[in-house]
Each structure stands twice: as structure tokens, then as C-alpha cells.
């Protein structure tokens, strides 16, 4: 991958992190905002639909929606450890043959991907520098539902998140890792999504996060 951010993701989210995430998921299931997004999508009726899950980690959204009746899924992640773990878990659950796995930069891959009924990005927007490219390409591929989780931009979230970003940036600079976190404007994200013909269907906040589902 030529993308420096994706190279950083590959380094940060390694096999050790993936194994820890999988252990937690098997013990507790989806939690917090991820559960909220899954429930919001399921409430719209998803049986027989298709899914593209971008930056889905060990595949929590994929696993839960496949169990709820989604027909097939496409997984895209910049972490090879996450792709491998998501694949192994899907095979263990008996539907590995209904999920397509892609390792790399979604924005670069997007032109080659077929649209899906549902597209999800769980805490991915804040991990990518080119918001317009990521949100624009992903929302274009959403045939029915588009679900995202990303930081709010209220004044106190901005203050807290920017402090966290500064500390994280220093940490990654010391480790010579190109990974960075980003706080993108809610208004700007919403405008890009709406420019692709989607409208807001549901909205929920939890701490610094906002869970938004759009429909076409």
C-alpha cells in the first residue's frame, strides 16, 4: 500500500490487537456504539441484503448482520491481521464462503467494488486523512443504507479529541509510525453523504461518538 496512513494502520492493528479484539467479542458480543449501529440497521429490515464493511476490524458488524440474515458481505481493511481474523471467524461460524475479503486502501479499491445494499464504517472516518475521498466513495456504493460512527465535533469533544490527537501524534512520531487520527467536521461529512443522494434516517450520540444511519 502506498498510502502512509494505511501503512500505519497495518502496523498498529497487528495480530496481537486482533486476537485481543476477537477474545473480547466472543465474550461480550458487540458493545457500545457498534451495537447501536447494528440495531439501527437491523430495525430497517436487512434479510437478503448485501453488505460492504469498511475498516471493520475483526468483522463484528459482518458477523452480526450475517447472523441476522444478510446474504453476502464484502470486507475491506488496511490491516492484514484484521482481515485474516475476520475471515477465520466467518469460517468458524459457517459462512466464510459468503464473504469477500480485501486487504488495502478502500479509496483506491472503491472503483472496482460493486455497490451493496448496506455500507458501514465503524470508527473509520477518524482514521483517514481524506474524508471527502473516503465518505464520497463509500456513500456512492450504498444502495439502501449507509451507517457510520465517527467523533462528534462539539466544542468539548474538539478539545478532548485534539488533546488526544496531540498525545497520539507524539507517540507515533517517536515510534516512527505514520498513523494519525483526525477530527472531521460533522457538517462536512453530512454534506458529502447527502450529495450522493442519501438522507439521514437515524441519529444517536454516546460520549464523543455519533452513530448515524442514512437511507437512499
Map residue 160 onto helix, strand or coil: helix
Q: Residue 132 pLDDT > 80, yes or no?
A: yes
**What's the confidence (pLDDT) of residue 170?**
54
**What's the confidence (pLDDT) of residue 142?**
98
Confidence of residue 144 (pLDDT cuts 50, 70, 90): very high
Residue 158 CB neighbours (<10 A): 15
Indicate the average pLDDT of the chain.
90
Map residue 193 onto helix, strand or coil: helix
Q: What is the mean pLDDT of residues 176-196?
A: 85
CATH topology of domain 4-215: Rossmann fold (3.40.50)
**What's the confidence (pLDDT) of residue 130?**
92
Cα gap 86→62, rounded to integer Å: 9
Beta strands in the chain (DSSP E): 50-54, 72-77, 99-103, 116-122, 142-151, 199-206, 209-215
Work out the percent of the chain whose per-residue pLDDT is above 90: 75
Rg of the chain (C-alpha set):
16
**What's the confidence (pLDDT) of residue 22?**
96
Q: What is the mean pLDDT of residues 41-54?
A: 97
* CA-CA-CA-CA torsion sign (95, 24, 121, 113): negative
Map residue 194 onto helix, strand or coil: helix
Strands 209-215 vs 199-206: parallel, antiparallel or unpaired = antiparallel
Show the cell assigned to 75.
470486507
Least confidently predicted of 3-17, 73-87, 141-155, 158-172: 158-172
Residues 109-127: tens digit of each pLDDT: 999 999 999 999 999 998 8
**What's the confidence (pLDDT) of residue 95?**
93
Confidence of residue 99 (pLDDT cuts 50, 70, 90): very high
Cα gap 27→61, rounded to integer Å: 16
Q: Cell 455497490 belongs to which residue?
A: 115
Are residues 141 and 133 in contact, defined by beta-carbon separation less than 8 angstroms? Answer: no
Of 69 and 171, which is predicted with more confidence?
69
**What's the confidence (pLDDT) of residue 156?**
72
Cα gap 123→68, rounded to integer Å: 22
Cα gap 161→156, rounded to integer Å: 8
Of 15 and 8, which is predicted with more confidence?
15
**What's the confidence (pLDDT) of residue 212?**
98
For residue 99, which phi and psi values (nearest 5 degrees)? -120, 135
Amino acid at each position: 500500500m502506498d498510502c502512509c496512513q494505511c501503512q500505519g494502520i497495518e502496523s498498529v492493528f497487528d495480530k496481537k490487537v486482533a486476537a485481543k479484539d476477537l477474545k473480547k467479542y466472543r465474550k461480550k458480543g458487540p458493545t457500545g456504539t457498534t451495537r447501536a449501529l447494528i440495531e439501527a440497521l437491523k430495525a430497517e429490515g436487512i434479510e437478503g441484503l448485501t453488505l460492504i464493511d469498511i475498516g471493520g476490524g475483526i468483522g463484528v458488524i459482518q458477523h452480526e448482520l450475517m447472523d441476522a440474515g444478510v446474504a453476502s458481505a464484502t470486507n475491506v481493511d488496511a490491516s492484514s491481521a484484521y482481515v485474516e481474523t475476520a475471515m477465520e471467524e466467518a469460517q468458524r461460524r459457517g459462512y466464510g464462503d459468503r464473504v469477500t475479503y480485501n486487504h488495502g486502501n478502500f479509496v483506491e479499491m472503491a472503483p472496482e467494488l460493486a455497490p451493496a445494499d448496506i455500507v458501514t464504517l465503524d470508527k473509520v472516518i477518524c482514521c483517514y486523512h481524506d474524508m471527502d475521498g473516503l465518505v464520497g466513495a463509500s456513500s456512492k456504493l450504498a444502495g439502501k443504507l449507509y451507517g457510520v460512527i465517527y467523533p462528534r465535533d462539539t466544542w468539548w469533544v474538539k478539545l478532548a479529541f485534539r488533546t488526544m490527537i496531540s498525545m497520539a501524534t507524539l507517540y507515533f512520531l517517536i515510534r516512527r509510525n505514520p498513523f494519525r487520527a483526525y477530527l472531521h467536521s460533522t457538517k462536512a461529512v453530512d454534506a458529502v453523504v447527502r450529495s450522493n443522494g442519501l438522507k439521514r434516517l437515524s441519529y444517536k450520540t454516546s460520549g464523543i461518538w455519533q452513530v448515524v444511519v442514512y437511507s437512499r
